[in-house]
Amino acid sequence: MKETDEGVQMNDVNESQEGKPTIQGENVDYKALYLDEVQNAKKLRKRAQDAETTVQETVKDRETQKVKQMKEQEKYKELYESVAPFKEKWEAHESTRREKLLSKLPEEDRESLSQKDLDTLEYIVSIKEESKPVNPSHTPAQSRNIKSDIEGKDWTKMDDRDRRENWDDVVNSYKNKN
């Protein structure tokens, strides 16, 4: 050990590296180094998880203390008064949404399903709507839109069999072009 002018002792370079493995060609035990790193990573991960748990517990404790203090100071009435308008708005929204969903259901099911919560009611309505076949609306004097198999194909490059099978479509496509 060497002493400096201030009287502080310093370790030699060789002595400060005693705890570290020396890298000398093939004498390095890589498996041991890897296992040490894995253990270190596990320790750090556990420490981080413990810290997160502690923070969550602290936040929860603060919230409960805050509520206790508000109760003690009779401020819970003030809190209730500040939340009351939002409660009324939510109840109005919920009732209108419930009525809309119930109106989509058959009358015999409405009474039994009226007590369900909104999520369940929305799920039931969506299942009922999916199971109903959707009929196309009828417009008088409108022809159907049926696409032929030869649309986009050049009829002059078809073989004779395809041309005979699709002759009506070939004639109609020719008429539509002119």
**pLDDT, tens digit, for every residue of 59-84?**
999 999 988 887 777 777 777 777 88
In a domain, 20, yes or no: no
Same domain, 86 and 112: yes
Amino acid at residue number 94: E
C-beta of residue 163 within 8 angstroms of C-beta of residue 155: yes
Residue 104 lies in a domain: yes
Ramachandran region of residue 29, left (φ > 0), alpha (ψ -120 to 50) or beta? beta
Alpha-carbon distance 123 to 101, whole Å? 10
Q: Name the residue range of residue 88's domain.
A: 74-129
Cα 12-17-19 angle, rounded to 5 deg: 130
Tell me how far apart the alpha carbons of residues 138 and 116 are, in angstroms, rounded to a whole number: 37
Question: Is residue 121 exposed (0-12), middle (13-18) or buried (19+ Cβ within 10 Å)?
Answer: buried
What is the overall mean pLDDT for the chain?
78
CA–CA separation, 125 vs 86, rounded Å? Answer: 27
Give a yes or no: residue 156 inside a domain: no
Task: Average the pLDDT over each of 117-121, 134-138, 154-158, 166-170 and give the range with the smallest value.
Answer: 134-138
Tokens in use for 9? 């002792």
Q: Are residues 51 and 91 in the same domain?
A: no
Residue 24 inside a domain? The answer is no
Task: Output the pLDDT for position 73.
Answer: 75
pTM of model > 0.75: no
What Å distances lie between residue 108 and 9, 66, 100, 127, CA to CA?
92, 49, 16, 17
